């Protein structure tokens, strides 16, 4: 066979085999090739999906790092996370042994009872069965008892969950809880790199929010009595006035002064005077509602502000406080009782009379102070109401 014929035959054979290889389902090779292409497409799609998730995670991380308030951070970690990743429910469980987190939120004017996506736990015992491997998330299903703790406001539909431990300095501070009604969404052994990273970022942000809240609380707390101070009142009262103005609520302001407190200090010493201040603060705290603003105004003066009470209700509240303090028993070093009384000046005003928040605060202070002065002049141990009829509605 000549070289020319041999070359022609080889080309014919190559053409035949090429046609056989490229023909659909014509050989095992073609089938394997199709399988490889299918797997490659799946890998590419997964890579694209991972890239999409990464972009979403990074965008949300930037938002939570730049949070402007504790309650905003909680919103981003629950509602925003739920919307971005198409989840059915997202909650946060926070270990709050001494109720400090709840106190911080309360100081920010947050109604804890309305935070249905935030769960407060007294300790970390609940998580013992979920986080057995340290900081690894839990994927899978949970029983009804656990569901009622972590997802109290959602139903008992079949679902899968991802519980992400929130850890700082090797200490569990809570969990970010994701729930999907797709039972295959979160399964045991699932990939958790993105979720673990996000949990670490969320942990840092939550810790920072708590630390900032602690500093704020400390700066607005009276060191002696443990109640709020004048700075707290100056910051929060404009907010209360603004809310009253927009919701058409009345507002009441009471200024209290311990009668003859200088005499107590001069007679029994400053240590006893401090004891009197602490006892008066404790007595007032027990006589008012948790929603009331209550602060040490300065020296032996205390201030209380509250809304949604009529003038007659305000009088009853002030009189109840006066009576409770009068009935308080404090003993001197020799066991003799020290008689305590307070004089109270009251200003009650409706939202219809609020024209300018800042100037009106000064007006309220002065009106209550004038009423307090009259209570002193009238023999102390009494309650006087500001006599400006135009504001007493």
Q: Is 289 a catalytic residue?
A: no
Tokens in use for 79? 């509602």
At 248-264, the pLDDT tens digits run 888 999 999 999 999 99
In angstroms, the CA 26 to CA 11 distance is: 20
Crossing angle of the two packed helices 261-268 and 270-287, in degrees rounded to 10: 140
| Ranges 42-46, 147-151, 204-208: which has the least confidence | 42-46
* pTM (whole model) above 0.75: no
Burial class from Cβ neighbours inside 10 Å (0-12, 13-18, 19+) for residue 6 reads exposed
At 336 the pLDDT is 82
Phi (first) and psi of residue 38, to 5 degrees: -65, -45
Q: Give the count of beta carbons closer than 10 Å to the beta carbon of residue 47.
A: 10
At 132 the pLDDT is 76
At 180-236, the pLDDT tens digits run 999 998 987 666 777 888 899 999 999 999 999 999 889 999 999 999 999 999 999
Q: Which of 19, 122, 207, 300 is flagged as catalytic?
A: 300
Phi (first) and psi of residue 326, to 5 degrees: -60, -30
At 270-315, the pLDDT tens digits run 999 999 999 999 999 999 998 899 999 999 999 999 998 999 999 9
* Run of H or E including 173: strand 171-180
Place of tokens 């939550």: 206
At 339-369, the pLDDT tens digits run 999 999 999 987 666 655 445 788 899 999 9
Tokens in use for 212? 């900032």
In angstroms, the CA 369 to CA 251 distance is: 16
Using alpha carbons, list the distances in angstroms from residue 345 to 79, 105, 255.
45, 30, 5
Q: What is the mean pLDDT of the chain?
A: 85
Q: For residues 255 and 354, is the Cβ–Cβ distance under 8 A?
A: no
């Amino acid at each position: 066979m000549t070289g020319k014929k041999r070359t022609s035959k080889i080309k014919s054979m190559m053409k035949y085999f090429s046609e056989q290889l490229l023909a659909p389902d014509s050989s095992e090779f073609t089938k394997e090739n199709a399988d490889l292409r299918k797997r490659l497409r799946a890998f590419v799609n997964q890579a694209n999906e991972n890239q999409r998730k990464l972009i979403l995670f990074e965008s949300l991380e930037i938002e939570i790092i730049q949070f402007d308030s504790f309650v905003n951070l909680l919103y981003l970690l629950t509602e925003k996370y739920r919307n971005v990743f198409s989840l059915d429910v997202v909650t946060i469980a926070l270990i709050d042994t001494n109720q400090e987190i709840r106190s911080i939120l309360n100081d920010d004017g947050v109604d804890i009872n309305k935070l249905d996506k935030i769960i407060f736990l007294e300790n970390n015992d609940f998580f013992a069965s979920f986080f057995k491997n340290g900081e690894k998330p839990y994927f899978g299903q949970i029983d009804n008892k656990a569901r009622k703790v972590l997802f109290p406001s959602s139903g008992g539909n079949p679902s899968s969950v991802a519980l992400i431990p929130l850890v700082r300095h090797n200490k569990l501070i809570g969990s970010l809880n994701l729930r999907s009604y797709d039972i295959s969404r979160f399964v045991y052994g699932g990939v958790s790199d993105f979720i673990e990273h996000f949990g670490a970022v969320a942990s840092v942000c939550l810790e920072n929010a708590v630390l900032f809240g602690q500093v704020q609380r400390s700066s607005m707390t009276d060191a002696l009595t443990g109640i709020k101070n004048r700075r707290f009142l100056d910051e929060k009262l404009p907010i209360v006035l603004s809310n009253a103005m927009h919701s058409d609520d009345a507002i009441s302001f009471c200024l209290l002064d311990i009668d003859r407190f200088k005499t107590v200090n001069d007679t029994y010493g400053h240590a006893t005077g401090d004891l009197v201040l602490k006892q008066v603060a404790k007595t007032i705290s027990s006589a008012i509602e948790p929603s009331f603003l209550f602060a040490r105004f300065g020296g032996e003066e205390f201030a209380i502000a509250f809304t949604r009470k009529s003038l007659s209700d305000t009088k009853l509240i002030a009189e109840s406080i006066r009576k409770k303090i009068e009935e308080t028993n404090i003993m001197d070093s020799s066991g003799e009782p020290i008689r305590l009384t307070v004089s109270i000046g009251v200003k009650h005003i409706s939202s219809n009379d609020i024209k300018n928040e800042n100037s009106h605060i000064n007006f309220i202070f002065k009106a209550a102070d004038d009423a307090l002065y009259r209570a002193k002049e009238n023999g102390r141990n009494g309650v006087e109401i500001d006599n400006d009829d135009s504001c007493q509605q």
